Amino acid sequence: MKNLLPAMFLAPALSLQVMATENKDFNYHVDNFADIEVLRYEVPEFNTLTLQQKKMLYYLSQAAQAGRDIIWDQNGKYNLQIRRLLEDIYTGYTGDKDSEEFKAFEKYLKQVWFGNGIHHHYSTDKFTPEFSQAFLENCIEQIPDSRLPLLEGQTRRQLLDTLLPVIFDPTVMAKRVNQDGTTDVVATSANNLYGDGVTQIEVEEYYNKLKNPADESPVSYGLNAKVVKEDGKIVEQHYHLNGLYGPAIAKIIYWLDMAKSVAENDAQRAYITKLIDYYITGDLRLFDEYSILWVEDTDSDIDFVNGFIESYGDPLGMTGSWESYVNFKNKEASARTEAISSNAQWFEDHSPVNPTFRKPNVKGVSAKVITAAILAGDAYPSTAIGINLPNTNWIRAAHGSKSVTLENITEAYAMASKGNGFNEEFVIDQPTIDLMDKWLYTTDMLHTDLHECLGHASGRLMPGVDQDALKENGSTLEEARADLFALYYLADPKLQEIGVLADPEAYKAEYYKYMLNGLMTQLNRIEPGKDIEEAHMRNRQLIAQWVLEHGKKDKVVELVKKNGKTYVKINDYKKMRELLGQLLAEIQRIKSEGDYKAGNELVQKYAVKVDPKLHKEVLDRYAKLDIPPYRGFVNPVYVLTTDDNGEITDVTLDYTETYPEQMLRLSRDFTTLGY
């Protein structure tokens, strides 16, 4: 599970003296286009690592980037052809690059790069080109057949007849992930996780036959498979060395094997070996064995995620999108998360949920603060700020989970947001601004720690309950559960007792930010007339709207007018905490019992619909600030120094690569699937 709530949602003017570092000479800003800003992040303390550790980070970074084509293909079956076509036009264009058509083309290409395909990374709506079809066709005419991304036997005309509607027709492949429960979400989603003609009912029936409710260690069916029809029957095509994505997986395996040769210890070497075995065979039992070995390794400083992990890209929440994070431990900051994780049983025992749904024995909850060293696949360019894995419930119960907070990513967001005027526009008064200036960075980090370390690791399913029982609402309700757990405990005196939060009133900064974001400011990410569809955004609105409604009688939280503008006003923070506990108890019950009906009613009532009048106001107020609603990153470039024998003698980081330079380099060096 991921926490996608970085400082960019509010972009406050943070009190930066509380941050770990403040490199005034580091340039965080890289590019800006459409609704997106591209940043870069610093990798502090990289130069203090040993040569062996640097080598391992380099090898893992190569394994991460080697999977790039996989996520592009998962996101849409024409994405790789379109990327190759657009990049050929971009690099070979000899016309007027100051023309409106070319500038619009460049903007579209940058959007496609950022989305790992033709759909927006967050809304999953298809991008709309602002250049004409005639312009694109004219550009294509200048490209010889030898450079066109033609399939075997495909003609130039057939290529155009296929790709032009995909790019220009708004009705063709309109949405990558459709979460509208009133339609067939499989048939109406444009991703490439299902074959032509496959329906939601067929997929659900297929997997229901495979699942055994009595299995105490069920595999995550569908995690590494595309579901297609062959001779009218539903079958799986698995992702592994000799199956789908084999050429890319071969490269990943090569670099993982290189990383294994410089592993820090036997435990790390063992789980890398198991991951390679899984990639070779596609056997999900091996993936579970790898996950257990991985979660139990708490000694290694270097860590990584590489594989088909999160299922947000699947409307049914089953198939994992390919992603990779490479990181190393921030030892000083990890004291905070270690204090939290070492008290995991206390937090579980004192949770406001029904004791039946609590874990009697919380096992193996480990947490640390990490320094991100590479982002890839579905974690790039847009990334989470916190991760808790594995996602498999029985492994969590029997072996625990591993939680990380990406502090250098959060810091980059915050540093790039300094002084942008957000607080002055949206926060109700100066005392609240002062509170947020003083405590928001700290409480934001703690919210992520609690969300990932304890929230996702808390609670348990009742015997026989399918972990996929909540279907299309599963991700939204799981993220809400983790957020509620974190918010509830941010106000608990236990945080002062264990030394991770000095002021018992500090939690109010996070409560105000969360309600402001859930009720108002995240609407900046929604187009007029649209519903909320992304799971994390639904989660936040669900919580905020539920608290607003259920606290209405006592005016716990209000939307008030001031000088003609709408503001969030919290009148009773303690009662708000009580309401958060009540909602946490209900959502935990829904998950524990697999109550799809109650979960769906909660999501549809509070999480989906948008007040059009308030939405317009938020958009108008944001427009004055010129704050992009979405941000992501370019990675540092790993530069090798070698001796006369080709042996690596040092690894350094280069931060100067531009956004187009990085994207074109990745296409040049890490194209593995035929284009």
Task: Tell me the pLDDT tens digit for each residue of 452-490.
Answer: 889 988 999 999 999 889 998 999 999 999 999 999 999
CA distance 102 to 88: 14
User: 314 pLDDT band (50/70/90 cuts)?
Assistant: very high
- Where do the H-state alpha helices sit in 227-308? 246-260, 266-281, 284-296
Q: Which of 127, 40, 39, 41 is nearest to 83 (CA)?
A: 127
Residue at token pair 């025992």: 349
User: 17 pLDDT band (50/70/90 cuts)?
Assistant: very low
Element (H, E) at 655: none
Q: Residue 403: what pLDDT?
A: 83
Tokens for 176? 């990558």
- Which is it for the CA torsion 158, 162, 168, 170, positive or negative? positive
Q: Residue 24: what pLDDT?
A: 62
Give mean pLDDT, residues 336-345: 91
Angle, helix 79-92 to helix 156-168, in steps of 10 degrees:
100
When the pLDDT of each residue in the chain is averaged and rounded to a whole number, the result is 93
Angle, CA of 176, 184 and 159, to the nearest 5°: 45
The DSSP result for 101-164, as a single string, is HHHHHHHHHHHHHHHTSSB-TTT-BBP--SS-HHHHHHHHHTS-GGGS-PPTT--HHHHHHHHH
SS3 of 27, please? Answer: coil
The DSSP result for 424-478, as a single string, is HHHSS-HHHHHHHHHHHHHHHHHHHHIIIIIITT---PPTT--TTTTGGGHHHHH
Contacting residues for 169 by C-beta, under 8 A, at least 6 apart: none
CA distance 221 to 467: 11
Give mean pLDDT, residues 254-264: 98
Q: Residue 418: what pLDDT?
A: 79
User: 350 pLDDT band (50/70/90 cuts)?
Assistant: very high
User: 2 pLDDT band (50/70/90 cuts)?
Assistant: low
Radius of gyration of the chain (CA): 24
CA distance 327 to 56: 10
CA distance 377 to 663: 13
Tokens for 103? 């500038």
Contact between residue 280 and residue 253 where contact means Cβ atoms under 8 Å apart: yes
Give mean pLDDT, residues 250-270: 98
- Does residue 375 have a pLDDT over 80? yes
Contact between residue 39 and residue 29 where contact means Cβ atoms under 8 Å apart: yes
Give mean pLDDT, residues 298-309: 96
CA distance 671 to 84: 10
Give mean pLDDT, residues 539-557: 98
CA distance 545 to 396: 31
Give mean pLDDT, residues 382-404: 88
Tokens for 264? 């820090």
Q: HSE-up of 58 (CA within 13 Å, CB side)?
A: 22
Question: Of residues 20 and 58, which shows the higher confidence score?
Answer: 58
Task: Tell me the pLDDT tens digit for each residue of 630-674.
Answer: 999 999 999 999 999 999 999 999 999 999 999 999 999 999 998
**Of all residues in the chain, what percent carry a pLDDT higher than 70?**
96
Angle, CA of 47, 48 and 49, to the nearest 5°: 95
Phi, psi (deg, nearest 5) at residue 305: -120, 135
**Of all residues in the chain, what percent carry a pLDDT higher than 90?**
83
Q: Residue 182: what pLDDT?
A: 80
Q: Residue 6: what pLDDT?
A: 45
The structure's pTM equals 0.84
Task: Tell me the pLDDT tens digit for each residue of 517-526.
Answer: 999 999 998 9
Tokens for 303? 């860590």
Question: Of residues 492 and 627, which shows the higher confidence score?
Answer: 492
Q: Residue 11: what pLDDT?
A: 36
Task: Tell me the pLDDT tens digit for each residue of 151-203.
Answer: 999 999 999 999 999 999 999 999 999 988 788 999 999 999 999 999 999 99
Give mean pLDDT, residues 353-381: 92
Q: Residue 4: what pLDDT?
A: 60
User: 213 pLDDT band (50/70/90 cuts)?
Assistant: confident
Task: Tell me the pLDDT tens digit for each residue of 464-474.
Answer: 999 889 998 99
Query: Looking at residue 421, what DSSP letter applies?
Result: S
- Does residue 261 have a pLDDT over 50? yes
Task: Tell me the pLDDT tens digit for each residue of 225-257.
Answer: 999 999 999 999 999 999 999 999 999 999 999
Give mean pLDDT, residues 54-75: 98
Give mean pLDDT, residues 18-43: 82
Dihedral, 440, 443, 445, 451 alpha carbons, nearest 10:
-130
SS3 of 302, please? Answer: strand
User: 400 pLDDT band (50/70/90 cuts)?
Assistant: confident
* Amino acid in position 633: F
Q: Which of 547, 638, 662, 448 is nearest to 54 (CA)?
A: 638
Strand partners, 648: 642
What would the 3-class secondary structure string for 531-574 be? CCCCHHHHHHHHHHHHHHHHCCCCCCEEEEEECCEEEEEECCHH
CA distance 88 to 148: 8
Phi, psi (deg, nearest 5) at residue 320: -85, 135
- Does residue 491 have a pLDDT over 70? yes
Phi, psi (deg, nearest 5) at residue 25: -90, -10
**What length does the chain have?**
675
